[in-house]
Amino acid sequence: MVAPKCARGTVDAQAVEGDNEPVTLPWRYDSPARSVVGQAAGIGMATGGIIGALVGLIVGLSANAPTAPFAMVEASIPGAILGASVGLLVGLTIKTVRAIASHRAR
């Protein structure tokens, strides 16, 4: 049985084990820091892939029109990898800045 999503990192044990005691998990399902990094990497990957595909299409059409789809793939894959890497760095930077700001606020 799949455990239900919970904001506090606990799961109703009755749904999982049949007890009435909640079970504390070692992670949180909806951690905002983890989602920021994942979202930034995903957005970077999509943006890099789309830009790479457009550049590959333009270069492929100007070089040899019948092979333009292959040029799109050849340019979009490295673009997606580069975009995901940049997005990952941006997400980690956002996470670090938020952690520093919350530590200073204490």
In a structure prediction context, what are the per-residue pLDDT tens digits for the chain, which is 106 residues long?
455 555 555 554 445 555 556 666 565 555 555 678 888 999 999 999 999 999 999 999 999 999 999 999 999 999 999 999 999 999 999 989 988 988 888 7
pLDDT for residue 102: 87
Is the domain of 35 the same as that of 24? Answer: no
Is the domain of 73 the same as that of 36? Answer: yes
Is the domain of 11 the same as that of 43? Answer: no
Place of tokens 């019948």: 66
pLDDT for residue 88: 93
Residues 6+ apart with CB under 8 A from 95: 33, 36, 37
pTM for the predicted model, two decimal places: 0.64
Is the domain of 71 the same as that of 86? Answer: yes
Is the domain of 96 the same as that of 54? Answer: yes
* Domain carrying residue 14: 1-30
Is the domain of 61 the same as that of 36? Answer: yes
Q: What is the dihedral of CA 35, 37, 40, 41, to 10 degrees?
A: -110
pLDDT for residue 26: 60
